Amino acid sequence: MFAANSDLLLRNIWYHALPSRDLKPGQMRSKTLLNEPILLGRTQRGQAFALRDICPHRAVPLSCGRFDGESVECCYHGWRFGPNGSCLQIPSLMADQTLDLSKFDVRRYDVQEVQGNVWIYMADPNPQQVHPPRFEVPRIPGFPEDAQPQISYTMPFSCFVDHAVVGLMDPAHSPFVHRAWWWRGGNLNPEIKWFDPSPYGFTMRKHRMENMGRGYWLLGGVPDNEICFYLPGIRTEETTTSRHRAVNLTTVTPLTSTTSEVTFQLYWDIPWMGLLKPILPLLIRTFLGQDRDVVIKQQIGLQHESVLRLIKDSDTLARWYYQLKTEYVRSQAENRDFISPVKTQELRWMA
């Protein structure tokens, strides 16, 4: 049995902040991540940065001020801050009034830009508990560091992050949640897949997609499929043939304890797939919308019931998710290596 009402948010770990294209040079945006107000910006020279969105003077959000592409000016008394958080100027000071400006620096967050996304390192708010990253920002295999997703779609989910993550990885909901005349009926078929532990998560072992129908000549052969899950809520699904590759990256980021954001992106190297660009956002919105709607219904019941009964094998991925989270927190608290709770095994379910 698993408690549904845990509000545990993982710290000292990279989270997806936003797609790079949503942050233009000279632009700043405010965003709440893990209940913290954050100002995300990009300098005129293209460097992305993140600061605590609260002026250290008298707490006005810095995002209410102005950004000239190099520094942020608070709208209240005009204090100025650089992209690294350093306090650069206090306009009310007379020439002979000296102050150590560095005492008024604003907290900065580490950011990294990888393959068209800005990632943010959400360190523990307690300075004693801050640890450097234990693992890298996940990379989309087979694509260069500066690759951009061809499709990027973000949808808010009004639930705690766990329910969005578990809902999206759930292998047994499709026949009920994603039933549609143009996609699939309610018939159930056996699914048998091998799973292996992988760094801070698990992998559904690469397998041939033999029953994909007649469409695979478009991809240049029968494709292989591999799905990886990583903490804190990142999933990649790779579909490859000898000639081509298409990868889906789905990230779930907690905004607050009751709201999350799901970003669904596609990378591909298949020229004709460009033709699908106009209809893909529609399909993604429909599918993700179905996943969102069912977890919103789940919130109704969770107000009265906090116990989740996770069964074998179809809820094994959900169990692993909760176990991975628990182990992540323990390994941090004990300052030791992470020991994966996932064991290689074959899972069987009807879907």
Rounded CA gap, 285 and 239, in Å? 21
Is 88 a binding residue for ligand FES by CB under 6 A? The answer is: no
Is 74 a binding residue for ligand FES by CB under 6 A? The answer is: yes
| Residues sharing a CB contact under 8 Å with residue 133, sequence separation 6 or more, in sequence order | 12, 13, 14, 110, 121
In the list 17, 28, 34, 55, the residue contacting ligand FES (rule: CB under 6 A) is: 55
* Shortest CB 86 distance to Fe ion, Å: 45
Is 108 a binding residue for ligand FES by CB under 6 A? The answer is: no
Rounded CA gap, 15 and 25, in Å? 21
DSSP run (H or E) holding 155: strand 151-157
Restricted to residues 280-309, the positions that interact with Fe ion (CB under 5 A) are 291
Cα 236 to chain centroid distance, Å, stands at 11
Is 247 a binding residue for ligand FES by CB under 6 A? The answer is: no
| Beta strand spans in 209-274 (E) | 224-230, 234-240, 245-254, 260-268
Is 57 a binding residue for ligand FES by CB under 6 A? The answer is: yes
* Length of the chain as a residue count: 351
How many residues contact ligand FES, by CB under 6 A? Answer: 8
| Residues sharing a CB contact under 8 Å with residue 331, sequence separation 6 or more, in sequence order | 337, 338, 339
**Which one, 77 or 330, has the nearer CB to ligand FES?**
77
- Among ligand FES, Fe ion, none, partner that 60 touches (CB below 5 to 8 angstroms by kind): ligand FES
Cβ(148)–Cβ(115) under 8 Å? yes
**Which one, 113 or 291, has the nearer CB to Fe ion?**
291
Is 66 a binding residue for ligand FES by CB under 6 A? The answer is: no
Rounded CA gap, 291 and 135, in Å? 29
Which residue in the block uniquely carries the two structure tokens 């941090």? 332
**Which one, 104 or 287, has the nearer CB to Fe ion?**
287
CA-wise closest residue to 3 among 314, 313, 309, 327: 309
**Which one, 109 or 157, has the nearer CB to Fe ion?**
157
**Which one, 93 or 130, has the nearer CB to ligand FES?**
93
Rounded CA gap, 228 and 205, in Å? 9
- Choices 18-26, 70-78, 106-114, 137-145 (CB under 6 A): range interacting with ligand FES: 70-78
CA distances from 342 to 158, 170, 177, 207, 289 (A): 29, 16, 27, 19, 30
- Choices 56-64, 110-118, 218-226, 281-289 (CB under 6 A): range interacting with ligand FES: 56-64
- Among Fe ion, ligand FES, none, partner that 291 touches (CB below 5 to 8 angstroms by kind): Fe ion
- Among Fe ion, ligand FES, none, partner that 162 touches (CB below 5 to 8 angstroms by kind): none
Residues interacting with ligand FES, by CB under 6 A? Answer: 55, 57-58, 60, 74, 76-77, 79
